[in-house]
Every structure is written in C-alpha cells, then in structure tokens.
C-alpha cells in the first residue's frame, strides 16, 4: 500500500514544503510556538451533504359512491279506452271504405301539374286529347299478310284459349322453362313463347318484337316517324296496348313507342293524357288507376 507522501501530488508536496519553510521562519522570529495551532499538514474538512429525503407518498383512498336506491316501480296505469274487440262487441263496419284502395298522394298536388295547368293556352288548343286507352286492333296490312283474327278475343280462343297471366302468357298452365335454356329446335324459351304469341296474343308479341323479317330500328326517331305516331294516336288513341299500337309504326316495337310517348310526346305537350301529370321540369309522371305510390315518389326523388 503506498505511503501518504507517495499518495500526495506534486502540488501538495510543494505546498507542504512551503508550509514547513514558513513555519521555521516564524519560529526564528518567535512569532509562534511549537504547540501552535498551525499544523504541519492541516487537513481540509470535507462537508458531506445528505441526499434529499424523499417525500412520503400520499396514498389516496378511493371513496365508493353509493348507488342511488332504486325507486319503487310505479304501477302502469290501465288504458281508459278499450277496443270493442276486448269488450266482446262486434266492430262497426264502414261501408264507404269497403274494397277501396287509396293510392293518392296529397303532397303531389303541390309538385305535379296537369297538362292544362302546365302548358300555354296555344299548346292546349293544338294538343291531341286522348283518354289513355288504345281503341284499335292490329294494322290491317299485317292482318292481311299474316292472317290475324278480327279481334283479340277471337285470336285468343282460336289459338288455344286458357287463362292469361304474365307468368303464363300462353295460358297453357305450364311453367316456363329455365331462363336461357335452349329447346330441341335450338330456340330459347323466350323466342319459342314469342313465336306462339304471334297469332294468339299479338299485343304481347309486338311489344318486344317487330314483324317477322323486318329490321328493328333503334336510336332517335325521325320527323316522319313522329308525325306518323301522332296520326295513329289521333285516330285510335294511346296510353296502353303498346304492342298493338306499334303494329302501325314500322321498324319499332311496343316498348319503344311507350318510352317515346313518356319521354318526348307528353313533355312536349303534343298529346294530353289524363293519366299523366308533369313536374316543374316537364317530366311526365304516371298518376293513373294503376299508380304505385312508392314508384312515383322514387321517380320524384331521382329528379
């Protein structure tokens, strides 16, 4: 272990030497004695500082809130009015509402206008007025070429009869085959049914098909077609049975005539149909006896 002198630095050794020399000088001058408080190697007191004491942690106790006491359940009051069914009495029948279905929408009175209210006086005077019904039969030229019967009733009965429905348009009572399925002759069910409807139900046939061997036109209508459409409407009326109506319009089918009627003829005020009213933008909305309120409201929302 090194001695104390060896542990001192050079600076401390020089300091000790200076102290010793100064002491000898003071002794020679009789300024200090041997027992003087001036020590040969005074030690420097070191001040030790205590680390700061940590503050005691305060533990907070959680106070539990008391749950409010449940109120006593109140007795539910009995209704003061009791129906006749609960009383055992027979209900009073309202004869005025029997078998009646109200499809009217009062809110539409402020949205839709009749053609007479919507168009100017001049247009009202020149417009063709119809009842919303087609009153004709097949174009006589087609009757002569294909041998159609003289009326719808005769055509139906002489070609098998039965009860018509949209699920069974031929009235045979047989269910339709799978959609898109080919028959023995390579025809789809839709084409097979259409071929049988040609003579039995011409209105259903011409609604989606043109005369056999005739090309169907698509796209905008020509001015000649528009004039011919109005001529047929003025003579036979229009608004339903669009398949029969289209037999007078070459190269067009029933649904094309129906769309042209609603999207162009009525908004232009060329024909006035009581089954249709117009919005502020001129769109024709069906409000006839077969109106469905939900469908009308949806059309108005899409505007």
Per-residue pLDDT tens digits for 283-298: 999 999 887 766 666 6
Q: Is the pLDDT of residue 66 over 70?
A: no
- Rounded-to-integer distance, Cα 19 and Cα 26, Å: 10
Q: Quick one: which of 280, 276, 281, 271 has its CA closest to 296?
A: 276
∠ CA(172), CA(175), CA(180), 5° rounding? Answer: 120
pTM of the predicted model over 0.75: no
pLDDT of residue 127: 97
Residue 234 located in a structural domain: yes
Instruction: For residue 150, report the phi and psi dihedrals to the nearest 5 degrees.
Output: -80, -15
User: Is the residue at 40 inside a domain?
Assistant: no
Whether 264 contacts 157, CB under 8 Å: no
Tell me if 7 is assigned to some domain: no
Report how many domains make up the chain.
1
Q: Residue range 5-14: average pLDDT?
A: 75
- How far lies 227's CA from each of 129, 131, 183, 197, in Å? 16, 20, 42, 29
Q: Which domain holds residue 276?
A: 129-173+185-286
User: Which tops the pLDDT comparison, 102 or 63?
Assistant: 63
Confidence of residue 100 (pLDDT cuts 50, 70, 90): very low
Q: Are 282 and 262 in contact (CB under 8 A)?
A: no
Tokens of 280: 């502020």
**So what's the pLDDT on residue 97?**
39
Tell me whether residue 279 is in a domain. yes
CB 228 within 8 A of CB 236: no
- DSSP letter at 80 equals S
- The structure tokens 């989606």 sit at 208
pLDDT tens figures, 261-276: 999 999 999 999 999 9
**198 within a domain of the structure (yes/no):** yes
Residue 79 belongs to some domain of the structure: no
47 in any annotated domain: no
Q: Is residue 65 part of a domain?
A: no
């Amino acid at each position: 272990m090194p001695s104390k002198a060896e542990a001192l630095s050079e600076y401390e050794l020089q300091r000790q030497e200076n102290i010793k020399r100064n002491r000898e000088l003071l002794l020679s001058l009789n300024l200090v004695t041997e027992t003087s408080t001036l020590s040969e190697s005074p030690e420097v007191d070191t001040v030790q500082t205590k680390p700061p004491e940590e503050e005691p942690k305060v533990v907070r106790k959680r106070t539990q809130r008391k749950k409010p006491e449940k109120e006593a359940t109140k007795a539910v009051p009995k209704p003061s009015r009791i129906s006749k069914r609960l009383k055992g009495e027979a209900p009073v029948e309202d004869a005025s509402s029997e078998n009646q279905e109200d499809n009217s929408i009062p809110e539409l009175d402020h949205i839709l206008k009749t053609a007479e209210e919507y168009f100017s006086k001049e247009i009202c005077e020149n417009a063709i007025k119809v009842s919303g019904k087609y009153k004709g039969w097949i174009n006589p030229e087609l009757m002569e070429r294909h041998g159609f019967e003289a009326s719808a009733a005769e055509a139906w009965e002489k070609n098998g009869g039965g009860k018509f429905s949209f699920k069974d348009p031929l009235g045979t009572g047989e269910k339709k085959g799978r959609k898109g399925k080919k028959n023995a002759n390579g025809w789809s069910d839709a084409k097979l049914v259409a071929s049988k409807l040609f003579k039995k139900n011409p209105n259903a046939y011409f609604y989606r098909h043109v005369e056999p061997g005739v090309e169907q036109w698509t796209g905008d209508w020509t001015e000649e077609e528009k004039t011919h459409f109005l001529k047929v409407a003025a003579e036979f009326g229009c608004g339903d049975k669009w398949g029969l109506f289209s037999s007078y319009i070459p190269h067009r089918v029933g649904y094309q005539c129906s769309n042209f009627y609603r999207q162009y003829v009525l908004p232009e005020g060329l024909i006035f149909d009581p089954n249709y009213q117009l919005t502020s933008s001129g769109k024709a909305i069906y409000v006839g006896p077969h109106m469905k309120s939900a469908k009308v409201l949806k059309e108005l929302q899409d505007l």
